[in-house]
Structure 1
Amino acid sequence: MEVNIKSIHFDATEKLQDFINKKVNRLARHYENISNVEVTLNVVKPETSMNKEAGIKISVPQQEDIFASKTADSFEEAVDLCLEALERQLEKIKSRK
């Protein structure tokens, strides 16, 4: 599984990238056919709270790509919220088979 992390208009720290990689790799437990994961991090409005946005797109062979985007106080929280939504979507795909 390939993980691409894009941070828009800022540089993501090594700690944040490690956190994202660790969390995304857990998705393989639920669905082992994931081929590619794209994580996009963005600061929406720098002067306000709840301004960290994370978007995660998962590519699965023979399936449509699935996507989730969440906004929170921190990137870690936004990534966690996205992954919860993606896990639900993966479970729906798995149950359809």
Structure 2
Amino acid sequence: MNIQFQSIHFTADDKLKNYITSKIEKLLKFNDNILDAKVIMKLENSGQIKDKIVEVIIRIPKETFISVEDSKTFEASCDQAVDSLKRQIKRHKEKLVSRKRSN
């Protein structure tokens, strides 16, 4: 699986990229047809607090899943985004199984 990284308003270090890569690769357990992933990390300055936003876009054949989460750390945002994608992938798989059963 190919993972692209884009960081806006900062430079992401290898430690953060490795952390996100390991989390995204765990999604292969739920669907091994994942073609690629794009991770966009943004540092948003909203008043006193700097929010860390992580947007993850996962592509599988005929489908795209997107999750955008924000938190105080990139790691927490990534964890939330991956959990959301996990639910989306499971739901998609359940729909496919139920369609096959009804046919």
Normalised by the length of structure 2, the TM-score is: 0.88
Pair 1:87 & 2:86 matched: yes
Q: Pick the structure with more strand per residue.
A: 2
Q: Deviations over 1:6-65 (max 9, x none)?
A: 1112110110011011111000011100001000000111653360000000011122x1
More deviation in 12-21 or 44-53?
44-53
SS of the residue aligned with 1:26? helix
Measured on the aligned residues, the alpha-carbon RMSD in Å equals 1.3
Gaps of 5+ in 1: none
Aligned length: 96
Match of 2:38 in 1: 38
Pair 1:51 & 2:46 matched: no
8 Å CA contact 2:2, 2:35 repeated in 1: yes
SS of the residue aligned with 2:32? coil
Q: Pick the structure with more helix per residue.
A: 2
Match of 2:100 in 1: none
Normalised by the length of structure 1, the TM-score is: 0.93
Match of 1:68 in 2: 67
CA displacement at 1:93 relative to structure 2: 0.5
Q: Deviations over 1:40-97 (max 9, x none)?
A: 000111653360000000011122x110000100000000000011000000111011
